[in-house]
Amino acid sequence: MDTATPDAARLTFRDATEDDVPALVALIESAYRGDSSRTGWTTEADILQGQRTDEQGVREVIAAPASRLLAVERGGELVACCQLEHRGDAAYFGMFAVRPGLQGGGLGKLIIAEAERTAQESWGVGEMHMTVISVRDDLIAWYERRGYRRTGQLTPFPYGDERFGIPQRDDLAFELLVKNLGGSA
């Protein structure tokens, strides 16, 4: 971790528990949906309405045997989270949320670096995978600056399944981004 960043020393990473579910849902929703999400830069409010996740979805991630949902705290307060899922030679990174008022201050960089380290240490994986809505150019550029590369591999957005939100446009798809964690390019 970058020890020059004051927040780095104050972050605590732990596996989320059932007791964390309501706070995690509120955090994820606040980072992506509704007016509160507009405080940060990761909002999807202009492209998706409705929910981003729900308590059942968060519980499923916590309970899945090959998955970890990391709760990130600062001063005992939940400020971020991310999902790690072991998928063979790779780990999947998802459900990433930073409290909107804290976005843009370097926390995301610290959290993704710790997630990569954790996945490599826990499972010995050589790659981290994630999917991002393909029209999220600013977010994709942020991940590219962290070493992720676009693959061009698209998965259709699940139109009609409101568990993923209510699309406000008809050109949404998920693009797979990949980062080599093994040290070679």
Cα angle: 62, vertex 159, 168; to 5 degrees: 105
**Does the pLDDT at position 4 exceed 50?**
no
Cα separation, 125 vs 130, whole angstroms: 14
Per-residue pLDDT reduced to its tens digit, 133-173: 999 898 999 999 999 999 999 999 888 887 777 777 888 99
Count of beta carbons in the 10 Å neighbourhood of residue 117: 13
Per-residue pLDDT reduced to its tens digit, 45-73: 567 666 677 889 899 999 999 999 999 99
Q: Check residue 185 and give its pLDDT.
A: 40
Half-sphere exposure of 180 (CA within 13 A, CB side): 4
DSSP state of 170: S
Cα separation, 116 vs 148, whole angstroms: 12
Per-residue pLDDT reduced to its tens digit, 111-137: 999 999 999 999 999 999 999 999 989
More confident residue, 24 or 31: 24
